[in-house]
Amino acid sequence: MSVLRWHALSGYSLELTQFTVGRATIVGGTRALLDAIGSVTPFERRLDTAVAAVTQRGNRVEVETRGGDTFAAGAAVVAVPLNAVGAIEFTPALPEDKRRAIALGQASRGIKIFIRARGEPLLQNSIRPGHPFGHLDTDWVDGDGVQQLIGFGIDAERCHAGDLPALQSQLEAILPGYVVVDATAHDWLADELSRGTWAIHRPRLVRAPPRRDATGRGAGCAGRLGHRQRVGRLHRRRDRVGAAPGARASALTG
């Protein structure tokens, strides 16, 4: 479903889809984009500050952190992952369709695992359907014959970066002849600030008509544009921002 949306956003061209998703990257990485945004306006950044509540008071919005600090502003942009929004208390409550979407959540419980393995110093690209990390790709090869592999799987519970013997037999099944040296992965499912991996929305979620909420401000979404307008705008932006499938998908959910 998500891939179909990337396809639509790329003007229904497979070539352009592959180019935007696989080739176009941000020069300097995502941090360069964040730094560029952060450098144009002098604002305060607070990291490691979880928000507990967002409250509308008259024409102001108050944001309360879990630490008890409160910030007031004319508007708040809530851009947390769909599976983490439910932990924030909104007053007034979000409209029913948004609450339903939040309760449904996004579907992905996948894993991105980084494996260092020793073997033939070749660039590898392996696919094995049903395997715990059934798409495995070489990121780079070091001079000592150890290479960095990136694996993608559909269920984080089916492989564990800390269990090297189990990982070794899984690696044998997709890329025989390589020996696991080390591995790492973040547990996005257990992370309470994400509770899921890349944003793969459930069937019908993107079909829900975008609606203005009681506050008139929406809740961290693209808002009230029609589907075609949104696709058009995002399409035009593509050249400037490069590929960020999750971000584009979120914008489409309205």
Write the DSSP symbol of residue 95: P
Q: Which stretch binds ligand FAD (CB under 6 A): 54-62, 77-85, 133-141, 174-182?
A: 77-85
Are 105 and 124 in contact, with CB atoms under 8 Å apart?
A: no
Residue 151 β-bridge partners: 113, 136
Q: Which stretch binds ligand FAD (CB under 6 A): 36-44, 79-87, 118-126, 175-183?
A: 79-87
Q: Does residue 159 bind ligand FAD (CB under 6 A)?
A: no
| Omega of the bond leading into 92 within 30 degrees of 0 (cis) | yes
Question: Strand, helix or coil at 60?
Answer: strand
Q: Does residue 166 bind ligand FAD (CB under 6 A)?
A: no
For ligand FAD, the binding residues in 85-144 under the rule CB under 6 A are 87-88, 112
Nearer Cβ to ligand FAD, position 46 or 121? 46
| CA dist., res. 60 & res. 76, Å (int) | 9
Report, in Å, the least distance between residue 112 CB and ligand FAD.
Answer: 4
Site string for ligand FAD, 200-229 (x = CB under 6 A): ------------------------------
Report, in Å, the least distance between residue 58 CB and ligand FAD.
Answer: 23
Are 66 and 51 in contact, with CB atoms under 8 Å apart?
A: yes
For ligand FAD, the binding residues in 174-203 under the rule CB under 6 A are 188, 193-194, 197-198
Report, in Å, the least distance between residue 243 CB and ligand FAD.
Answer: 5
Q: Which of 9, 51, 180, 183 binds ligand FAD (CB under 6 A)?
A: 51
| CA dist., res. 203 & res. 185, Å (int) | 28
Are 248 and 6 in contact, with CB atoms under 8 Å apart?
A: yes
Report CA torsion sign: 88, 94, 96, 98: negative
Residue 64 β-bridge partners: 53, 70
Report, in Å, the least distance between residue 65 CB and ligand FAD.
Answer: 8
| CA dist., res. 103 & res. 82, Å (int) | 9
Report, in Å, the least distance between residue 177 CB and ligand FAD.
Answer: 26
Q: Which residues bind ligand FAD (CB under 6 A)?
A: 50-51, 79-81, 84, 87-88, 112, 188, 193-194, 197-198, 243-247, 250
